[in-house]
Copies of this chain bind each other. A is one copy, B any other.
Amino acid sequence: MEQKDKQTAEKFTVRTDLAIEAREIAREGREEAGEPDGVQVETSHTKDYELTRVHILTEQGSQTMGKPMGSYITLEAQKLKENDPESHSSIVAVLSKELQHLAKLKKQGTALVVGLGNWNITPDALGPKVVSRILVTRHLRDTLPEEMAQTVRPVAAVSPGVMGITGIETGEIVKGIVEKMHPDLVIAIDALAARKTSRINAAIQLSDTGLAPGAGVGNKRKMLSEETLGVPVIAIGVPTVVDAATLVNDTMDRMLTEMRSQTEEHSPFYQMLMDMESEDKYGLITELLTPAAENMFVTPKEVDAVVDRLADIIAKAVNMAMQPGLTEEDWSLFG
């Protein structure tokens, strides 16, 4: 069992960056009800969103889930995809509160916000778009009135690009900057990959574990974490794409379920599909995708507008969490 869990873990890291999906997969393979050992889950919801807190508490939980130990907070809301200012306000408020709680920054602690991803590829541009909306204050300390300077937390923000653009491992660039400016916290923002089409642009995950490698559209290999950077790292991510194989897989699963009632359950073909491990089926689909489709991703038509709005929501939540002493009106002084 453990053996099997481990194998699964190795495989599905290529498919989901979301702890809530890792949990779904872990539960699929189990007979008992309840959470995997070493994993604790809390959920809550309002009319605007669902919130799931997944805490991976032990090494065994980490192996089962294929994710480092720590807390993963996921906010899900189909309205994230729509232009709905009212629900977005309430989402900003809760994200800001959760972020502040994860961050545990002391009053004048310095934060560095890092926008990962490739600004030339719309669904991968989330991180850079958030960074362009961050209240950058670190360089203003000396020019602010004394009273204001006491209130404003020093925040810096960079978008280091991806290796295909710079020729340098993104982790190296971030580490180089961290070693110069010595922030007390890094907040890393990135586009993620999801396993379900329905979660595209409809979930935001915060975690205190850093960012896992291989995620999203672009190519970002080095882990950004307290271990590699020497300071705590909070990751904020949104699944903005699924790969083509995931889409096909999702649809085929629905097709099989649909057909179950229309065909003899025991026909060998049907049985064969049903018997396949989901990993194997996914692998088969990947093989069968035309070479043309291999590099394809699936994205909503209005992806530019949606990613802009998501960047807005996340940037506001970060600004609010980092600058509790400022009102939203004050922000304009720094922009």
Contact = CB atoms under 8 A, between A and B. Distances in A.
Interface string A82-95: 01111000000000
Contact of A158 (B166, B217, B290): B166
A251 B248 contact: yes
A250 B293 CA distance: 10
Contacts of A269: 259, 263-264, 267, 269-270
B251 A288 contact: yes
A124 to B, nearest CB: 8
Interface stretch (A17-25, A64-72, A98-106, A300-308): A300-308
B263 A268 contact: yes
B180 A247 contact: no
A168 B138 contact: yes
What's the number of copies of this chain in the assembled complex?
4
Interface of A: 83-86, 120-122, 136-140, 154-161, 163-169, 172-173, 175-181, 197-198, 200, 202, 217, 244, 247-248, 250-252, 254-255, 258-259, 262-264, 267-270, 272, 284-285, 288-293, 295-305, 329, 332-333, 335
A86 to B, nearest CB: 7
Nearest to A169: B139
Nearest to A177: B176
A152 to B, nearest CB: 11
